[in-house]
Amino acid sequence: MKLTFLGAAQTVTGSRYLLEAGGKRLLIDCGLFQGPRNLRRRNWDPLPFAAETLDAVILTHAHIDHCGYLPVLVRNGYRGPVYCTPGTADLCEVMLRDSARLQEEDAAFANRHGFSKHHPALPLYTSEDAEAALRLIGPREFDVPVSLGEDLSFRLLPAGHILGAASVVICCGHTVVAFSGDLGRPDDPLMRAPAPPVHADYLVVESTYGDRLHAARDPEDELAEMFARTFARGGLVVMPCFAVGRAQEILYYIARLKESGRMPNVPVFLDSPMAISVTDLYRRHMRDHRLTLSQLHVLDHAAFMTRTVDDSKAIASRSGPMIIIAGSGMATGGRVLHHLGLYASDPHNTIALVGYQAPGTRGATLEAHAPAIKLHGDYVRVRAEVSSISSLSAHADYRETLRWLAGMTCPPVRTFVTHGEPAAADALRRRIVETLHWDCCVPEFGETVELPEAPVRDSPSGTAQARLPNPLEHNP
């Protein structure tokens, strides 16, 4: 059995792991590299294997750094199945179509302005490529074993994080390899707690927050204070927001604050067609989250859902306090740019940053309290308050990750720490070694490791496997 780390090795994007087991070749996650140019360039590198030689792709979840490379794989000849949960399948439709549209827009922009050394500049993939990829998706329910061949099967376990997110447990003979995917938080108000596999011989675990603990503050309090400050001075709030997960979480908190009378009943606009579509999906996947139908009903009515461009433009004709939630989450594009252009220069207003702002993005410029931001070619002065709400996160911190790991009944033979910047990955590795005393390493990009078959463990009665818990189950 062999495992090759084709992405998310000492970085947080481009999750792709090639597992060769039981005579089959499986790709676990098929993500885009995002962020700095040197990473994004890897999306254009030739595949290190012939796409048609893969037997199956298994996706942990629908974030683009986990599924966004799928259209390239399909364009290069992959025709096999793509497995994921039903929630991930539905989200992939939203995410991959949006990603293809952005790729096409970027290429068109480069051609108009002569940015690219390629003539014409081509998109990484097109909408047709995305549709071809979507046609290969075969949803599989959580907790149901799926056979991939003789003595080879997998199962998806709930990982919290976002709708449909899963950990993947693969059984080859009596050897078990598990991939955590992105782990959510045990006490998330919307998403269920991630469930660790009972046992794995080899484990790949994410480390986004391997060197950090989340702020102990209650996000509801942080938001309440920011809203109160802004409305007391007669301002409004512009909130660049991720469409998947974060927008719904913000609506949840706003609904609670209004219900408890901790904030005035100001109008709220969810000005993101993508976030509106994602909010609709919560109703179709009730097992994936903690919200009841009546809570979803409240969420649906917590904001005016502005789907059309005309509805979006009409927001500007209003005056008085209000909250405008719009994409994109790092203010790199989308409708939020229009609102920033209108409202960033007024010191009464607040720009609320409610998610991670990657270096080099407009959101990071705002977070660093730059005096101006560039919008559509012009500089706009930032005189609004810029407020970062730090207590919101869809990722487990290191203490929560250790708790998830400790839920396994016996230590893996080897644990691989991925999906973290080098300092975060190494910090989690050290903590796993010191706290759990597990054999643990941080793999390099492109590294291949041999995974020897796990020894058959004898029970006291001598019956192989008799004492082992079923690795395909999980701890509740």
Binding residues (CB under 5 A) for Zn ion: these are: 63, 182
- 235 or 245: CB nearest Zn ion: 245
Q: Cβ–Cβ contacts within 10 Å for residue 232, how many?
A: 10
Q: Which of 49, 14, 17, 50 is nearest to 34 (CA)?
A: 14
Please, what is the minimum distance in Å from the beta carbon of residue 184 to Zn ion? 9
Q: Cβ–Cβ contacts within 10 Å for residue 278, how many?
A: 24
DSSP state letter for 291: -
- 133 or 165: CB nearest Zn ion: 165
- 15 or 279: CB nearest Zn ion: 15
- 63 or 431: CB nearest Zn ion: 63
* Cα(448)–Cα(143) distance, integer angstroms: 29
Please, what is the minimum distance in Å from the beta carbon of residue 385 to Zn ion? 29
- 8 or 340: CB nearest Zn ion: 8
- 31 or 240: CB nearest Zn ion: 31
- 182 or 385: CB nearest Zn ion: 182
* Cα(428)–Cα(418) distance, integer angstroms: 10
Strands 237-240 and 24-30: unpaired
Strand order in the sheet with 304-305: 304-305, 268-271, 323-326, 237-240, 350-353, 385-388
The residues near 95 (Cβ < 8 Å, ≥ 6 apart) are 62, 63, 64, 67, 68, 244
The residues near 33 (Cβ < 8 Å, ≥ 6 apart) are 7, 11, 13, 14, 39, 40, 41, 42, 43, 65
Please, what is the minimum distance in Å from the beta carbon of residue 289 to Zn ion? 15
* Cα(403)–Cα(180) distance, integer angstroms: 13
Please, what is the minimum distance in Å from the beta carbon of residue 60 to Zn ion? 8
- 161 or 256: CB nearest Zn ion: 161
- 98 or 201: CB nearest Zn ion: 98
The residues near 204 (Cβ < 8 Å, ≥ 6 apart) are 3, 17, 28, 177, 178, 179, 180, 415, 416, 418
Q: Which residues of 288-326 are buried (b: 16+ CB within 10 A; e: fewer)?
A: bbebeeebbebbbebbebbeeeeebeebeeeeebbbbbb
DSSP state letter for 290: S
